[in-house]
A and B are shown apart, each in its own frame.
Chain A
Amino acid sequence: MMRGLTAFLMLAGAGVCAATPETYTADPNHTFTSFEVSHGGNFTITRGFFQKNSGKVALDRAARTGSIEIIVDVASMTTGHQHRDTIVRTEWFKVDQFPSMIYRSNNLRFSDDSLAGADGELTLAGVTRPVSLTVTSFKCRPHPVNKKEQCGADGTAQIKRSDFGLTAASSAGDDIKIQFQIEAYKD
């Protein structure tokens, strides 16, 4: 009986744990990476974005744990100026060699029931460094039109491009603000 009870509790425990994390897949139309960098020594701000993004999110909202993976297609970067985009993609990011920028975190931070941030790692131009995300908005609900369960979030990270070996062109600032828009449907 004792052994049976233990086995039952283990099974029940394992069942509960395994059942709770929910996995979500990013909607490529609404998962988007933007950035801002100062130009000419805080003279003005240049803004750009990466058009193609994919990702996965796992959330255990009861245990307040989870993971995020965002994969950004570096070749899809634009700043609204073609000549500049070609230089940044090829000479800075070395897109042929490093086609993806990846953010991964297994350490999500919650504030009450809301996702508030993530501590993880950003891989850019072949270099991986710890990067924290601050999540400024987070909501899970059925999509009002297609009724599918989804979660949406907006996260901001601050990096120094020199930490990733991106030191070309001193006219562009070292500090880069990255914003991730993520909308992900429950699998």
Chain B
Amino acid sequence: MHWKAAVAIAALGITLPAAAQEVYVGEPAHTIASFETGHFGVSWVRGRFNKTTSARVVLDRTTKKGSIEATIDATSLDTGNEARDKQVRSENYLDVEKFPTIAFKSDNLKFDGDNLVGADGDLTIMGVTKPVNLKVTLFRCIQHPVNKKDMCGAEAVTAIKRSEWGIKRGAVGIGDDVKISIQIEAYKQ
């Protein structure tokens, strides 16, 4: 075999694993993080971040590896109450002027058979980065029934303690434990 052919085959060999990688990008109307936190121990306040700035998922379903990179627009916080939202966006809580984005990154996806079941990664809020484990409760890849594009959908949940990110204000009434639920629908690129 000519050495050039050998190099070409070797090069192909290198590109093959890369070819099994699929890149998906979150669709904004169906890629939204919601949360709930206790209020004075009597009820729950629920809210959302309406704008996911970007969500990029790399999946290799053969080797069962991949990564997630997502950023959320912290200014899009919405609890259905403008006065409260202003307060939570202020420097007393999320300080969105200084820290306009919340980020999640993981290159450690967990599979059970062919199913994505979790992602261990890092969550950055207000410049503080802490490890967070996402549990994936729904995962399916389909061809969209109307537009026929390939896509994957998932639901992920996690629970954090806001004090670990330095958000300690209002502890008399607002719970430290925050439950997060994330809807993601992402189209194959």
Contacts and interface: CB of A to CB of B under 8 A. Distances in A.
Nearest to A53: B80
Interface in A37-62: 39-40, 42-47, 49-51
Instruction: Name, among B29, B51, B138, the residue most crowded by chain A CB atoms within 10 Å (CB to CB).
Output: B29
Contacts of B44: 137, 154, 179, 181
Contacts of A182: 43
Contact of A152 (B28, B40, B145, B185): B40
Instruction: Name, among A43, A145, A152, the residue most crowded by chain B CB atoms within 10 Å (CB to CB).
Output: A43
B138 A47 contact: no
A38 B145 CA distance: 16
Given A137-B43, A144-B172, A152-B43, A46 B84 contact: no
A78 B45 CA distance: 15
Given A78-B78, A152-B39, A183-B42, A44 B173 contact: no
Interface in B12-65: 28-30, 32, 34, 39-46, 48-51
Contacts of A165: none
Interface residues of A, number: 39
Given A137-B42, A143-B40, A44 B154 contact: yes
Given A43-B142, A47-B34, A78-B78, A183 B154 contact: no
Contacts of A32: 45-46, 80
Contacts of A50: 80
Interface in B146-189: 153-155, 172-173, 181, 183-185
Nearest to A49: B80
B86 interface: no
A168 B101 CA distance: 36
A148 interface: no
A65 interface: no
A101 interface: no
Contacts of B43: 30, 137, 152-154, 181-183
B158 to A, nearest CB: 15
B140 interface: yes
Interface of A: 29-30, 32, 34, 39-40, 42-47, 49-51, 76, 78-81, 83-84, 137-139, 141, 143-145, 150-154, 171, 179, 181-183
Interface of B: 28-30, 32, 34, 39-46, 48-51, 76, 78, 80-81, 83-84, 138, 140, 142, 145, 153-155, 172-173, 181, 183-185
